[in-house]
A and B are shown apart, each in its own frame.
Chain A
Amino acid sequence: KQEVTQIPAALSVPEGENLVLNCSFTDSAIYNLQWFRQDPGKGLTSLLLIQSSQREQTSGRLNASLDKSSGRSTLYIAASQPGDSATYLCAVRRDDMRFGAGTRLTVKP
């Protein structure tokens, strides 16, 4: 059964810092990996999708990489802002879609 782990569980940084969130998974037979953001009391917002054949995807200040063979993905956030404060979740998909426990990010002004 696929296991997804996210490190760190929580992260607090001053505004303007670049940061990296990590996601690892145990079964490399995936269709894709998707990064989501969840604000308190809200649903999930999709940030980036990386197909299994891709190495990275970029959207604005966000860059996600995927190393399928080693079962790892990173989400890089450049020049962090207080509005980036949220929980970031990664999910890997094949027959189903399994999530890590998330990284709770706080960006301090």
Chain B
Amino acid sequence: DTAVSQTPKYLVTQMGNDKSIKCEQNLGHDTMYWYKQDSKKFLKIMFSYNNKELIINETVPNRFSPKSPDKAHLNLHINSLELGDSAVYFCASSHGDRGNTEAFFGQGTRLTVV
């Protein structure tokens, strides 16, 4: 029973393509996040959604568009992929305003743009 699941695990694509990464959580959490982990391993937040509404949008190119059809899903769509988009992307979820609950992460999607 995977709490936060991402698909695909690996994604290799050419520059200029459009791709999507899916994320689903079965924990009943109301907040979901997308992170990018670059080659230096730093985890940088990209987006935060609470109850399907965008809360945080860091300085992310508008080629990246998150979509939350319901509280259990937060998908990441990337247009016109560039070499610099190559990284590992992590999805996570938590209860937004409950300090006593942990956040959980998916296993990551390794995106390689060639």
- The residue in chain B whose Cβ has the minimal distance to the Cβ of A98 is B45
Which of B18-26, B62-70, B73-81, B100-108 lies at the interface with chain A?
B100-108
A47 to B40, CA, bound (A): 22
- The reply on A42 being an interface residue by CB < 8 A is yes
- The residue in chain A whose Cβ has the minimal distance to the Cβ of B96 is A95
- The reply on A91 being an interface residue by CB < 8 A is yes
SS class, residues of chain A in contact with chain B:
strand
- Smallest CB–CB gap between A55 and chain B, Å? 14
How many chain A residues touch B (CB < 8 A): the figure is 25
- Smallest CB–CB gap between A39 and chain B, Å? 11
- Smallest CB–CB gap between A100 and chain B, Å? 9
Asked whether, in the complex, the Cβ of B42 is within 8 Å of the Cβ of A43, the reply is: no
A107 to B102, CA, bound (A): 27
Asked whether, in the complex, the Cβ of A44 is within 8 Å of the Cβ of B90, the reply is: yes
- Smallest CB–CB gap between A86 and chain B, Å? 12
Instruction: Specify which of A30, A38, A96 is in contact with B56 (CB 8 Å cutoff).
Output: A96
- Smallest CB–CB gap between B40 and chain A, Å? 8
Q: Among residues 3 to 36 in chain B, which have CB atoms less than 8 Å away from a CB atom of chain A? A: 33, 35
- The reply on B94 being an interface residue by CB < 8 A is yes
Contact A96 to B102, CB < 8 A, known contacts A31-B97, A43-B90, A44-B90: no
Asked whether, in the complex, the Cβ of A43 is within 8 Å of the Cβ of B107, the reply is: yes
A38 to B106, CA, bound (A): 12
Residues of A within 8 A of B99 (CB): 30-32, 51-53, 93
Q: Among residues 76 to 94 in chain A, which have CB atoms less than 8 Å away from a CB atom of chain B? A: 87, 89, 91, 93
Instruction: Specify which of B42, B55, B100, B108 is in contact with A95 (CB 8 Å cutoff).
Output: B55
- The residue in chain A whose Cβ has the minimal distance to the Cβ of B98 is A31
- The reply on B114 being an interface residue by CB < 8 A is no
Asked whether, in the complex, the Cβ of A96 is within 8 Å of the Cβ of B48, the reply is: yes
Residues of A within 8 A of B43 (CB): 89, 99
Asked whether, in the complex, the Cβ of A97 is within 8 Å of the Cβ of B106, the reply is: no
4 nearest interchain CB pairs? A31-B99, A44-B105, A43-B107, A32-B99
